Amino acid sequence: MASALCCISSRKARSYTSRPILWVRAKAPTRDLSTTCTRSFHAASTCLQHRSRQGQSLAETPALLYSIRCASTGGTPGVLGIRREGKNKWERRAPVTPQHVKALVGQGLKVIVQPSARRAFPDDEYCEAGALIQEDLSDCAAILGVKEVPPEQLLPDRTWCIFSHTIKAQPAGLPLLDAALEKKVRLVDYECITESGRRGDRRLVGFGSFAGYAGAISFLRGLGERLLALGFSTPLLHLGSAFMYPSLEEARRAVAAAGDAIRKTGLPRELCPFTVVIAGNGKAARGALDIFQLLPHEMLEPAELAGLCSRTVRTDRIYIAVATAEDMVCRRDGARFDKAAYYARPEDHMPIFHRTVLPYTTVLVSAMYWEERFPRLVTHEDLQRHAVSGQNKLVGICDITCDIDGPVPTRQMTSIEQPFHIFNPLTENVSRNLDDPGLLFHAVDHLPSELPREASQHFGDKVLEFLPSLAAARAPQAPGQGDSATLPPAIRGAIITEGGELTPPFRYIQELRADQKKRAVKAQSESFPLERGPAPRRPLPLSELTARRVHATSARAWGCRLQHFSSMKEGASGAPSSGSRSILVLGAGFVCRPLVEYLLRRPENRLVVASLRQSDLNVAVGGLGPRVRPELVDVASASGNVAATLEALVKESDLVVSLLPAMLHVGIAELAIRHQKAMVTTSYVSAEMEALDSPARDAGVLILNEVGLDPGIDHMSAMKMINAARDDGGRIVGFSSVCGGLPAPEAAGNPLGYKFSWSPRGVLVASAAAARFKRAGRLHEVNGHDLLASAERVSFSSLTFDALPNRDSTVFAELYGLADAPSFFRGTLRYPGFCDRVLALARLGLLEQSSTTSLRLAADVAGPTSCREWFSRLLGVASSERASLEAALESRLAGLGQEGARLGLEFVAWLGLLGDGPLPPDAKVDSPIDVTVSLLQRSETAYQPGERDFVAMRHELTLERADGAFELRSATLLAYGIPFGATAMSRTVGTTAAICSQLVLDEPRRFGAGVQRPLTPKWYEPALLALESEGISLEESSQLLQEPSAAGVGQPLPASVGLAAARPV
């Protein structure tokens, strides 16, 4: 290859090198680059325009034209760029070393390295390896860095490989993500390069072990200083941070020397046994373990620590335990721990580390992978309880993973130059003074940069094999184009953005951003309360109460290790306040835990949760602490003992929350009235419940109903819209409200587009319920046989649904004060296709609930039968041959139209009714709906681990304004479940019920007595505001309509729902 002289001649190059122009010989094609050191296409274009204005010939600027061409076309294939790191002065790493560059050049790649006098490898070494040293990277098709890139420095239309810090929608990384989308960058994140290309698989590229090495070395330095502040001089005092040593080997020798001193002189007896617990077993954990094992040590299992601390031990060593997931959590149902089950369903597990390991730990090293769906290893409240109770062995926490409020309660990051702070869990104060009371924290988020040469060599070794393919072609200009499909799977799975869009595996980031936006609204509402009614009283954290109690307490006794929390204990016992409240929660279903967790935010609340099954109680309240007492009670039992127990529980409570099946609410309400206890339910008010209004008023008891999602949030948000429209002086001519609980779009993969959280029977039966609604001044009725046929297609928020009339809408027109409105409609949402397929089942008799004698008799005679034979008998088809059966099906389904018949035929085949497989063993052969239910209970119709559910709600109100114009006002709620966490349905229902319960507890006299719904401002104003602070809110919008016909006057969304099957009355 021809050699060329390369010049670092731009002003930026000189500013970074702080030395004269450097002429170097590089093995690269000859090109005059002295005039092409431009940072972007825009800079080059500006230069070109300037030359044109000066009368210079553009033909005389080939290098500049070449730069513009490169900048605008995504660089030159085969050219790889190495970016200079500039995040901070300590970032001296490089993604590849000169050794790796030499290998790349040997494979025919051209490598351009931005100059840096700070990098751990001098520019000369890269040059000698064959790299071109220059500022301008516009010729590069792919550019490598380590840390995130300032958005303005992101060259468009390139492949960029960095640690982007965007995959969790980290706020600091979002500007970079937006720039990558705008500039059509193919963004590859090293963190996502895994063996198979799937998230969660074994990572192939990273600095993990070096984070462990550097974190452990530097923490030992801080530990020596902290122990000195507590009154103990130890050999650790002479250690430095990792960056203070010229190499990792030198640092290891220094730690080993400290270990020799400990072996000879021992550690202070007051500190022993000196235990180190390393949480995690990945690369970072193994790196930290390698360093601690340089000290004299003995390895133990975490379960052995309690016994160790109860006996006399040696002082000439430390005791190390490695804690894995099995040491951190246990199953709520008491079954044996299984790691795969834990990762699939962490919500089925409860944390135990804070009870079984933390009390016996001197130093905790957090080096574990963690996501929000997992229980925390240690919480701030755990540290508080241990401090108050005297379980004060813990001296410090080394947070290698550096997640703010992640598995450990890290409140602030530290830095390489200021690597330590003291966190006082009782006051929540953070201090840089290591003499202050509290726990030593070390949380540096770029630890491997303390060992830049070794870390870079290791990283480059791992990433090298992928670089030729990444640089081989330009980044695609549109999704699905270019060479991405030919890249190795490990790289394909790490591409976050491409062609201006998020790739499918990372589209969840948009939803995380939406959640962040809602949390920001919450923070703003707390700082600037809306002057529109009383805001709910925010739950007061236990930490704030504790801090108030201990604020004036002396800290003089912190000089001794054994008393370093004792000075804070006085008055901080955590005992309940004199205003303690008892809440009885009946039922431990899926909405229970969000409700209980919300109510527990208020330290004065104590809860009793009663349920029929222990397994439900384990899931609902396991691990929530001593302020929750589970009780096994069969509320539906007629036993006298059970009734006495239940009555005693009601009598002892201040509030009863019934999450039981609706038919049991009335009996509970009668008990509540008898003992003058307020009651809250999420169910509709039945006629029997309505009849209790007068007795409740006479007893001065509030019975609040319909405070879930639907009913609940729908009522409150609807009344807010309606009353606002009335306040504006207009006439409401139409109102509609539709709502549905569905699988998230990516999880709706079966033919129904629906998944069942419990038996499908309830959903199927509801699909045949009669309905009534008003349209253009006329009352329309839909009989149950035709309900599914009345569905109409509706769209909002880029989503499409089928809307079904939901029972008798006119009842709610009366409640909402809209009895005179020309149109009023309430509906249920399903994904397109659901109604067509279930309608086919209904037309084929598969939803019949009554027993079919002929089927029972045939089963008695023939014995076990196949699905197809049973189906033939149901339809009365003589032959069970598939061809005969399909012909009969086409005839039966002809009334649904060609498309409806086709969907119905495909669906019954999907259910297995045309196959030779046996009927499900639990199916009642004489009950068509029971057979259908059994066939629907399969993996495809059940939520799988990690799948999300989805709640959609939409109100539309058509308003005739005082000026004669028509206005369409809408409000939309879209809420998604959390993967491996709370469902959207449980969160919206449980949180709403909890908020209303807390309102009742806080101001019982404000809301009066009787059987109520949350339809008035005194309910919906504080409740909606509190829901908004939890990230649950409806987005409102409005638009003016030019003429009444366009306004859909009397025909709100959906514009023609039910007209196909509705019968005017």
Which are the catalytic amino acids?
Answer: 710
Show the beta-strand stretches assigned E in 574-717: 581-586, 605-611, 628-632, 655-658, 678-681, 702-704
Q: Determine contact, residues 440/222, Cβ cutoff 8 Å.
A: yes
Which residues are CB-contacts of 221 (< 8 A; sequence separation ≥ 6)? 236, 239, 240, 241, 419
The DSSP secondary-structure symbol of 604 reads T
Which residues are CB-contacts of 230 (< 8 A; sequence separation ≥ 6)? 395, 558, 559, 560, 561, 564
Q: Determine contact, residues 155/72, Cβ cutoff 8 Å.
A: no
Using alpha carbons, select from 220, 587, 248 the residue that is nearest to residue 398: 220
User: What is the three-class DSSP state of 999?
Assistant: helix
Query: What values do phi and psi take at 278, rounded to 5?
Result: -105, 115
In the chain, the N- to C-terminal Cα span, in Å, equals: 89
Per-residue buried b or exposed e for 940-967, using 16+ beta carbons within 10 Å of the residue's own CB: ebebeeebbbbbbbbbbbbbbeeeeebb
The DSSP secondary-structure symbol of 247 reads S
Query: What values do phi and psi take at 290, rounded to 5?
Result: -60, -40
Query: What values do phi and psi take at 773, rounded to 5?
Result: -160, 165
Q: Determine contact, residues 497/200, Cβ cutoff 8 Å.
A: no
Q: What is the CA radius of gyration of the chain?
A: 34
Sheet holding 275-279, edge to edge: 297-300, 318-323, 275-279, 363-366, 396-399, 439-442, 420-424, 429-431
Instruction: Give the CA distances from residue 219 to residues 68, 151, 397, 400, 842, in Å, rounded to whole numbers and listed in that order.
Output: 49, 34, 9, 10, 68
Tokens representing 509? Answer: 């980031």
Q: Determine contact, residues 1015/816, Cβ cutoff 8 Å.
A: yes
Q: Helices in 203-268 by DSSP H: which ranges? A: 208-229, 248-265
Tokens representing 295? Answer: 């000290």
Using alpha carbons, select from 323, 234, 307, 225 the residue that is nearest to residue 270: 234
Q: How many other C-beta atoms are found inside a 10 Å radius of the C-beta of residue 249? A: 9
Q: Determine contact, residues 968/1045, Cβ cutoff 8 Å.
A: no
Q: Determine contact, residues 977/987, Cβ cutoff 8 Å.
A: yes
Residue showing tokens 């969790």? 168
3-state secondary structure 635-646: CCCCCHHHHHHH
Residue showing tokens 């998020």? 502
Which residues are CB-contacts of 79 (< 8 A; sequence separation ≥ 6)? 109, 110, 111, 112, 139, 140, 141, 142, 471
Q: Report the distance separating Cα 894 and Cα 840, nearest Å.
A: 10
Q: Report the distance separating Cα 1036 and Cα 1051, nearest Å.
A: 19
Q: How many other C-beta atoms are found inside a 10 Å radius of the C-beta of residue 207? A: 27
Tokens representing 343? Answer: 């990762």
Which residues are CB-contacts of 217 (< 8 A; sequence separation ≥ 6)? 239, 241, 242, 245, 251, 255, 291, 450
Residue showing tokens 């129904």? 752
